[in-house]
Amino acid sequence: MLAILLAALWASNATTTTAADPEPAQANRALLDCSGQLRLSLEELCQQAVSTDSAAADHAIHELRGRGDSGLRALLETHAALLQRPPAERKLNDTTWQRLRAALDGVSGQRDCHAAQLFWFTDFEQARAAARAQAKPILSLRLLGRLDEEFSCANSRFFRTTLYANAEVAKYLREHFVLHWKSVRPVPRVTIDFGDGRKLERTLTGNSIHYVLDSSGEVVDALPGLYGAKAFLTGLQRAESAALQFTKASSEERPALLTQYHRSRLATLDSELAADMQRISTPPSAAYVLDLKAMPQFIGFEPPSAQTAAKVAVGKGFVERPILDRTQPRQPGNSRGSSAGIDDEIWAKLATLHADEAALDAGAVELIREKTPSARVAGRLTTSKIAVEDPTLRQIRNLQRSISEDTVRNEYSLHRQLHAWFADGAVTRNVDALNSRVYAELFLTPDSDPWLGLLPPDNFAALENGGVKLAAQK
């Protein structure tokens, strides 16, 4: 049967070929694979990926993803005309545009791929193989939820919007790293139903971290939480250099190299923080760094509340805290700011010194506008008051301020603690084992708490079973 089909296909090509045909072999036409099913060319896969036939589109997306970055590049080139159209012409309710967005997200492994155009592995062994083949380090993102879904944790959404959509950051990631992500656990999601058809959807709690690994998959450094684009690039470049040096060293030399790198970074951060404190007329003090020993209630005892964990990240806190404060009673104590020795006012002052590191480029602003309701829509939800200023501009200013503060908090607190762990030799270079510690001790969302701080044990909710519903046992 297979021989007959192959013969028929050959005969069809032969009888339709004329002297004017530039490619008599029809290399881009469909062929039959060994199972007797049609195997499409790369060009045909790219066209079929946006087909109205969902089964055909899913098959094409799967095939293109299997080809890695080259499959993504082909899809981007095939549909370049639509991608290059002004955002105002790419309407969200345009089904053609939505099919292309879905295809790009499916092939790349990342939501909003049209803005970032990055390929992400989700299989760690495949990422390691690619890193060895390309002699590149790995950037491994750990997050709550999935990077290829809209409702991943808040910080990972900010990564997609403010970092990966940044042209300079995306170019650097594409050229210098093999990208990989892994979900730590699902992200809690809440829907507020106003009862009149309006609903507000948000995610609660959860943080994200980028690990820089050598090509064999061992941890060299990490950037915890959200950074401004300029600061993120600086951190990546520094960690990449260390990873490449680490890879070239012998197995006997590597531990000493890694220790020296982190000791050097630790000393530099302390010096930079002291200088920044002087610039804002605040006396420098060794107490201005995060001291985990001052927070025994977070480690091995009662899990921290979701409100406490939300304080670890300013940017996502602005999104989550209004809902957390209205759905949970405030927990006494557990203030991360005081534990770190720096109060919120000082953090805000430090952030102003690094405002340029959080500037959003045109690509990020464009994606933010795509995701922001227009002034006209917002106006329908408010009173008859007419907005004088574009509300998106206010959102962007507020976002840049919160990113600046996240940057200094993460660098001077969380990243410093990571450097200290490595400098003291008190940490594993296995990324999964280190990640468990990071989520427990830095992000305050330990694996041991299945409720992520959202179910305080001492609070009565006046609901049957505390309002808890469990999945049916299979």
Helix (H, G, I), strand (E, B) or coil at 42: helix
Contacts for 283-288: CB closer than 8 Å, 24+ residues apart:
285/341, 287/341, 288/340, 288/341, 288/342, 288/412
- Residue 299's pLDDT is what? 38
Helix (H, G, I), strand (E, B) or coil at 353: helix
Q: Hey, how many other C-beta atoms are within 10 angstroms of the C-beta on 270? A: 17
Segment among 94-98, 325-329, 393-397 with least mean pLDDT: 325-329
pLDDT (tens digit per residue) in 224-244: 999 999 999 999 999 999 999
Average pLDDT in the 98-117 region? 97
CA distance 2 to 25: 20
- Residue 69's pLDDT is what? 97
Q: Kindly report the CA angle at 140 between 136 and 144, in degrees rounded to 5?
A: 165
| pTM of the complete model | 0.81
Answer whether residue 173 shows pLDDT above 90: yes
* 13 confidence band (pLDDT: 50, 70, 90): very low
Cα→Cα distances 418→88, 227, 319, 441, Å: 43, 16, 26, 11
Cα radius of gyration (the chain): 25
pLDDT (tens digit per residue) in 134-162: 999 999 999 999 999 999 999 999 999 99
